[in-house]
Structure 1
Amino acid sequence: MKILISADMEGITGIVSVDQVSQKGEDYERARLLMTREVNAAIRGALAGGATEVIVNDSHAAMRNIILEELHPEAQLITGSPKPLSMMQGIDETVDAVFFIGYHARKGTANAILDHTYSGRCVAEYTVNGMKLGETGQNALIAGAYGVPVVLVTGDTQVTREARELLGNIETVAVKDSITRYSAKTLHPEKAHTLIEEAAKKAVQRIGEIKPFTLEGPYTIEIELMCTSMADMAELIPGVERIAPRVVRFTHSDYITAYKCFRAIIAMS
């Protein structure tokens, strides 16, 4: 049984500041260790639940955050960027289920730690067929395109609420109770690790019960960008239509292809 873990940093226990999640920040090295240990808890739970293979995809920023020598030895690590599927590199039809560890709420969510959608510098809003999605939804749709369910999401109270509303009765762990964008009441890491390990074990045992997240195609994606110059660049891509000063739209029958177009727009922006 193969599990893919997509690991972000903003939703890790104790993380509340840009300084902690930025490579030049004073607290970044501590945050890396917190992230690695939290991922390890998910790996332990997955193995206890019956997983025979665990792949971890480092999914934050430059995607070189997890400390390899501190990672659980039974896991394999996908590190570095760019990657064709970015936060979901490693997904394919051989994966049985996906965990999202350390995730955050979508851009514009009130009182959510470091809320943004893929790129805080570029994306104001992302919708698919009229549905507003953050990274949880974006990446769950990628998994769904391969017939794979997301069975566990961890992060602050807001992203776990978002995940349940979007994906249904999956396993979630709120490791911190968000107060504002930059403050939270947080669990101690050891307590968070215990809860994540237990939830990961249970999530693996529920595979088959939880269905993949899918939407009916074709997929019309609208992206509200942060400034007009970004839309100027985006509409240079064939098939991309500008529908407002900062909003572009495109449609494709395949969600993976549509997602790659989104990635190209972000890169150009």
Structure 2
Amino acid sequence: MKVFISADMEGVAGVVHQEHTARDGREHDRARKLMTEEVNAAIRGALEAGATEILVNDSHGTMRNLIPELLHSEAEYIIGSPKMLSMMQGIDESFDAVILLGHHARMGQSGILNHSFSGKVVRNIKINGVDYGEIGINAAIAGSFDVPTVLVTGCQFAGAEAEDLISSIETAVVKQTVNRVSSRNMTPEKSQELIKEKVISALEKRSQIKPFKINGPYTVELAYIHSGFADAAEVLPIVEKIDGETHRFESDDFITAFRYIRSLISLASS
């Protein structure tokens, strides 16, 4: 059994503020260690469930967060960016299951540190009229390769977002959001124990969870925080500007649509 883990940071127990998540934050090194330990817990669970190959993709910010010397030896790791598939780099049809670790609710929801790919740039991302965040889009990337997303870990709002999209998915709620920069957290020991148990449970029931797919063709509307970002990204010929802060484009292929989304965000923030 091959298992793919996309490891973000905002949904990790004990991570609550940009001082944790930003590379120059005073608490960033502590958050990196907490993230690495939750990844290791997921790996232990996957191995106990029978995984023979585990690939972990560092998916937060610069994607250079995992601490190599502390990582479990029975997995391989993709670290660094940019990457064509970003948070899902390395996924393909050979995998049996996807785990979204340390994930968070989309921009505009109540979850801790909520955002959609870039909290400084993106207001929302609509695909065929439905608002999706990182959980939905990452799961749909996996679904494009017919791989089911079986577990999401994070706060209660991240869990609810996953459950709204994917029937029978497992969730590991390691903290309860109080507000955008405050949460009631499990201790690292307890959160890691829960993650390990939930990974085992999710992988054992993976045949009951269908790959999440968004049916094409795709009409994507990307709304920015302000019009300056839309102006900067307008150089991409595929987009139509439908108001001062929103671009729209169409695609027949989901992976292509995602690559355009990432390109627009990169252009907007340049």
**1:36-75 equivalent positions in 2, closer than 5 A:** 36-75=36-75
- Contact in 1 for aligned 2:104/2:155 (Cα 8 Å): yes
* Deviations 1:63-95 (CA, angstroms, capped at 9, x unpaired): 000001111100100000000100000100111
Residue of structure 2 equivalent to 1:223: 222
Structure 1 residue 121: Cα displacement: 1.0
2:4 maps to: 4
For residues 234 and 64 of structure 1, the distance between their equivalents in structure 2, rounded to whole angstroms, comes to: 26
Q: How many residues align?
A: 268
- What secondary structure is seen at the aligned counterpart in 2 of 1:124? strand
- Secondary structure of residue in 1 paired with 2:57: strand
Q: Secondary structure at the match of 1:3?
A: strand
Residue identity in the other structure for 1:118:
F
Q: TM-score, normalised by structure 2?
A: 0.98
Aligned to 1:95: 95
Alignment of 1:168-183 (within 5 A): 168-183=167-182
> Within 5 A, what are the aligned runs for 1:40-189?
40-110=40-110, 112-189=111-188
SS in 2 for 1:92: coil
Alpha-carbon distance in 1 for matches of 2:48, 2:98 = 16
2-side partners of 1:126 and 1:185: how far apart? 29
| Whole-Å separation in 2 of the counterparts to 1:226 and 1:236 | 18
Does structure 1 retain, via aligned residues, the 8 Å contact 2:168–2:208?
A: no
User: What is the distance in 1 between the residues matched to 2:215 and 2:56?
Assistant: 29
SS in 2 for 1:249: strand
User: CA separation in 2, counterparts of 1:249 and 1:267?
Assistant: 16
Gaps of 5+ in 1: none
Are the counterparts in 1 of residues 43 and 72 from structure 2 also a CA contact under 8 Å? yes
CA displacement at 1:232 relative to structure 2: 1.6
CA deviation map 1:132-182 (0-9, x unaligned): 001000101100111011000000111011110111221101100101001
List gaps (5 residues or longer) in structure 2.
none
Amino acid at match of 2:119: G
Is the contact between residue 241 and residue 247 of structure 2 (CA under 8 Å) also seen in structure 1?
Answer: yes
Distance across 2 between alignment mates of 1:84 and 1:215 = 20
Give CA deviations for 1:170-210 in whole Å, capped at 9, x if unaligned. 11011001010011111111111111101101111112110
Distance 1:60 1:233 in 2: 24
- Structure 1 residue ranges, 4+ long, deviating more than 4 angstroms after superposition: none
Question: Counterparts of 2:41 and 2:50 in 1: how far apart (Å)?
Answer: 15
Note the C-alpha offset of 1:233.
Answer: 2.6
Structure 2 equivalent of residue 239 of structure 1: 238
In structure 2, how many angstroms separate the alpha carbons of the residues matched to 1:245 and 1:239?
17
Q: TM-score, normalised by structure 1?
A: 0.98
CA distance in structure 2 between the aligned counterparts of 1:207 and 1:50, rounded to whole angstroms: 12
**What letter is aligned with 2:13?**
T
- The alpha-carbon deviation at position 234 of structure 1 amounts to 2.5
Quick one: distance in 2 between partners of 1:263 and 1:194? 34
Deviation at 1:23, TM superposition (A): 1.4
